[in-house]
Amino acid sequence: MDNRTFARLLEETADLMEIDGADSFRVRSYRRAAEAAEQTTFDLAAIAFDTPKLLEIPGIGKSMAANLQAIAETGTLPQREDLLKRYGVGLLDLLKLPGMGPKTVALFWDAAKITSIDQLAEAIADGRLTSLPRMGAKQIEKLRKGIEDYRRSAGRFRIDVADEEAQRISAYLLKFPGIDRVTPAGSLRRGRETAGDLDLLATGPGFHPGKPGTGLPEIPGCAPEQTAEAVEYVAKYPGIHDMIAKGENKVSFHVQQGLQVDVRLLPTASYGAALQYFTGSKAHNVSLRQRALKMGYTLNEWALARLDDGAPVAAATEEQIYAALGMDWMPPEMRENLGEIERSARGELPQLICQEDIRGDVHMHTTASDGRSSIRDMAEAALACGYQYIAITDHSKNLAMTNGLDEKRALEHIQRIHEVDRAMEGRIRVFAGIEVDILADGALDLDDAVLAAMEVVIASVHTRFEQSRDEMTMRVLKAIENPYVRILGHPTGRLLLRREPFALDMGTVLRRASELGVAVEHNAAPERLDLNDRDLRLAKELGCKIVINSDSHDARNLGKMGYGVRQLRRAWLGPEDVLNTRGPDEFLAGLRPRPQPA
């Protein structure tokens, strides 16, 4: 259980208490504790039963320490569970809708006993909300659209959420003596930005090969009783919220946040076949099975076998299976049936970018605006990631909620960045930059004279997302015409599963960016992953310069760049397609040239 889970459970409890009409001081104490749980550098799971250590955390008193211990022991809070029994778990879903806070949910409960998104949708359709306070036509329309967006994303989970859950479950499974390897498959292994469920393959030499006709010979050392013991062990995973099914070789369950997990127990001898079968998209696997049939083979999760006599041809590794089909092994991120099978058969697969290729990160925030780490802390953390350079790019003044920099503070901030750069003594370069806001009319919210002093200027949209496609396109085009803009930040403004991309003529923007030499950003923050893989392919086709950044607001988040790298790989990008695979001087030279002083 990670700190984010502790924070989420405390925050949900605070929401439910506010809906229930609890004392505001008590509600605030839970919210303060949630914030403390998320921000502390202590591993709460590791120190949960060390009360003195918990009390060292600002915002955690004795009662909150007891709550953290209850979460560590049971995976939830008794008060949270009591409130959910009273009001129903649907209230937590209602709180995920845009603009929906505890007070509005309480209003719906008191006035109409609405406890779920479906009930709210029915009330909107029936016109029952119009008589409620603060429920004008505009607010009701916002709720209706929010429900539509939620339903589109329902049952999906961000890649980092699925990945962290996979790590927790894998650590548990590997404690069973008969399991020698646990590998995520499915959407997570292909690097998709969201996952509908989590497929985990647990292999061991003693697991039996399933039912007859699997295409595998009798495996020496197989022990059906060991497989049964492993199934029972999996079923005792402490993070299970509810059990879906428990079979001969598979256990399916939901964890607390609703993610479905399917654990399959397989013999080591069929590891490659299972990994291939449960990784590829449906379309990729159909095409691959058709290729196998044309060559006289049958392919399933147990083996690639001959059609005529069922004799296995390959099973242990993916490389063996693809080789037997006359193909090169391909990275899992490519397996979407977008031409990779044909390219593989011709020996023409591209060399994809790897995380080790990234040599710098040029979008991050510090305590000067809304970050949680100092310039020096970010530089040291980046150095630990193996980077050769970073750019500090705090927010500009239009985002008042983020303590954005005005002209005077921005110039002072540049000097502090330069001081840290000198203090690092060449171990890492620290560039001065800014994430300048694109205003509604396309103007930037800092003077050109200030932007001219920055080495890296990123321009981003943070407000007025409701503009029409034409308005937003013209807004962005005007912004990148500014000669000091070198990078267009998170170009569609989306927040995965929370906010849809704003309307934008992407092709027109990318073409103009290419003409101007403005780089487009892939924002690797797992809540954004913007541009997506499709638009990254378009950017490459149009000759755009591409930069990948973490957009970190905390030194600890610099290490999440890998989630973005996987999107670059899904777009079939190589190191040569991404500017910050270059060294510091070559990176700056690859950006749009800055205007020369008059």
**Please, where are the H alpha helices in 317-428?**
318-324, 340-345, 375-384, 407-423
CA distance 336 to 284: 5
pLDDT in tens, 200-221: 999 998 787 655 444 444 555 5
Q: How many whole angstroms separate alpha carbon 289 and alpha carbon 359?
A: 40
- Please report the sign of the dihedral spanned by the C-alpha atoms of residue 17, residue 138, residue 467, residue 571: positive
Give percent of the chain above pLDDT 70: 96
CA distance 176 to 197: 23
The strand order across the sheet containing 297-299 reads 297-299, 304-306, 312-314
How confident is the model at residue 293, as a pLDDT? Answer: 96
The structure's pTM equals 0.80
3-state SS, one letter per residue, for 177-236: CCCCEEEECHHHHHCCCEECEEEEEEEECCCCCCCCCCCCCCCCCCCHHHHHHHHHHHHC
Q: CA–CA separation, 585 vs 575, rounded Å?
A: 17
CA gap 228, 249 in Å, rounded: 8
- pLDDT reported for residue 225: 74
Phi-psi region of 528 (alpha: psi -120 to 50; beta: other; left: phi over 0): alpha
What pLDDT score does 37 carry? 87
Domains of the chain: 3-153 (1.10.150.110), 157-345 (3.30.460.10), 355-590 (3.20.20.140)
Q: Alpha-carbon torsion 119, 120, 121, 126, what sign?
A: positive
pLDDT in tens, 391-410: 999 999 998 778 899 999 99
Pairing of strands 304-306, 312-314: antiparallel
Q: How confident is the model at residue 223 (pLDDT cuts 50, 70, 90)?
A: low
pLDDT attached to residue 218? 54
Q: Which residue has the higher pLDDT, 218 or 52?
A: 52
H-run or E-run covering 173: helix 159-173
Q: Which amino acid does the sequence have at 483?
A: P
